Amino acid sequence: MIFIKNGSINTITNGVIEGDILIKNGKIAEIGKDIVAPLDAKIIDAKGKYIFPGFIDAHTHLGLWEDGMGFEGADGNEETDPITPQLNPIDGINPMDRTFKEAYEGGITSVCTTPGSANVMGGQCIAIKTFGRRIDNMIIKNPVASKIAFGENPKSCYGQDEKMPQTRMAIAALLRENLKKAEEYLEDLEIYEEHEDQDKPEYDMKMESLIPVLKGEIPFKVHAHRADDIFTAIRIAKEFNVKLTLDHCTEGHLIAEELADENYPVVVGPSLSERSKIELRNLTFETAGILSNSGLDVSLMTDHPVIPVQYLPVCAGIAVKHGMKEEEALKSITINPAKTLGIDDRVGSIEVGKDADLVIWDNLPLRIESNVLYTIIDGKVVYKR
């Protein structure tokens, strides 16, 4: 047991409480004032300090591109086939990579790790904790989404080799073709399950992996920078009645009114980076604030290793500087990504019954000079400054 006393507790969902937190069996057991500490509890005095839920990065490649390595540590893009929805990061993540330690020392306790965007369908996405040695024991939910990509990345990966897709038309066509195949595969499975005299369809791992998307159990996680690509993603989602999250959303501020009407979750970033390709010509830190002020649930992302994951709070602070409300910026790295990833029953806010993923700061965390004093994941102190 851990008993944290006398702290300023920002619950994110239920305001700020001046008081104590009791942690039992890896979960938050009590929150409030004047809680009696059990005799066998480890005491942490947080007087004058700030307690926040562990921060969540909604879109990273943590562990798939290892730090300081080239080809040997690059396991995020299978650039041999533009359609690979069956891939899963659990088989490519190296949790021994030192950036995991940098993540939790920076107050980031959970992330979504996704395949890269070379392929039109890149694979599944998983939500993991940032502390551990064995990835199997770090998973919060697998899968949380299925990755698809529009625009320059799949075009440049395959078009230069005179392979499909060379154009945005081909990207959309490949998506439609494979979604239609997946629909037919699912229909054949359902017929087989309902009628004993029917032959079971031959197992297809690609189509099998798309069934949770077709059933609405997980969304497509959409790599899209340009406004026209965002609209194509929405068009196809409506055709097949599937869910989306719009990731990157670099030109989202140009179409804020339309996106507010559509009301898909948006994941904005990486904004603290150069305009390294033509799709990023309208990159600005104002995007998150404009979309948030339009009523959308906005999450921020580092796209690690594009921006090192520990600088997620810095990105939130800069977003505030450029027009995002501070309360919404804090939500964008806590409860909003938790909801978007479908893991808000466990993380994203300080509530009784949730995982004890807590960070104690010496100052408000969106300030550049603030330091993490303690990081607690699943009720265990994994870092102490």
Q: pLDDT tens across 88-98, in order?
A: 999 999 999 99
List the chain domain ranges: 1-53+349-384, 55-347
Question: In this predicted structure, what is the pLDDT of residue 266?
Answer: 98
Nearest CA to 364 out of 4, 45, 7 is that of 7
- The string of DSSP codes covering 161-209 is TT-S-SSHHHHHHHHHHHHHHHHHHHHHHHHHHH-TTSPPPPP-HHHHH
* Tens-digit pLDDT profile for residues 250-282: 999 999 999 999 999 999 999 999 999 999 999
Measured CA to CA, the distance from residue 222 to residue 241 in angstroms comes to: 15
Q: Is the pTM of this model over 0.95?
A: yes
* Tens-digit pLDDT profile for residues 120-172: 999 999 999 999 999 999 999 999 999 999 999 999 999 888 899 999 999 99
- The CATH fold assigned to 1-53+349-384 is Urease, subunit C; domain 1 (2.30.40)
Paired residues of 338 in beta bridges? none
Question: In this predicted structure, what is the pLDDT of residue 196?
Answer: 76
Q: Domain 55-347, CATH 3.20.20.140 — does that match?
A: yes
Backbone torsion region of residue 339, taken as left when φ is above 0, otherwise alpha when ψ lies between -120 and 50, otherwise beta: alpha
Q: Which residue has the tokens 């699912």?
A: 186
Helix (H) or strand (E) holding 330: helix 326-331
Task: Give the tokens for residue 243.
Answer: 């869910």
Burial level of 204, CB count in 10 A (0-12/13-18/19+)?
middle
Nearest CA to 210 out of 188, 242, 239 is that of 242
Question: In this predicted structure, what is the pLDDT of residue 160?
Answer: 86
Task: Give the tokens for residue 366.
Answer: 């969106």
Question: In this predicted structure, what is the pLDDT of residue 89?
Answer: 98
Measured CA to CA, the distance from residue 70 to residue 10 in angstroms comes to: 40
Query: Between the CA of residue 381 and those of 50, 152, 199, 345, what are the distances in Å?
Result: 16, 43, 54, 22
Task: Give the tokens for residue 35.
Answer: 């809680």
Where helices occur in 241-307 by DSSP H, the ranges are 256-262, 286-293
Paired residues of 195 in beta bridges? none
The residues, ordered by sequence, that sit 6+ positions from 304 with a Cβ below 8 Å of its Cβ are: 57, 60, 61, 62, 99, 111
| Upstream peptide bond of 337 is cis (omega within 30 degrees of 0) | no
For 356-369, letters b (16+ CB in 10 Å) and e give bbbbbbeebbbeee
Backbone torsion region of residue 269, taken as left when φ is above 0, otherwise alpha when ψ lies between -120 and 50, otherwise beta: left
Determine phi and psi for 321, rounding to 5 degrees. -60, -30
Indicate the SS3 state at residue 158: helix
Can you list the residues of the chain whose pLDDT is less than 50?
A: none
Question: In this predicted structure, what is the pLDDT of residue 197?
Answer: 80
R_g over Cα of the chain: 21
Question: In this predicted structure, what is the pLDDT of residue 181?
Answer: 98
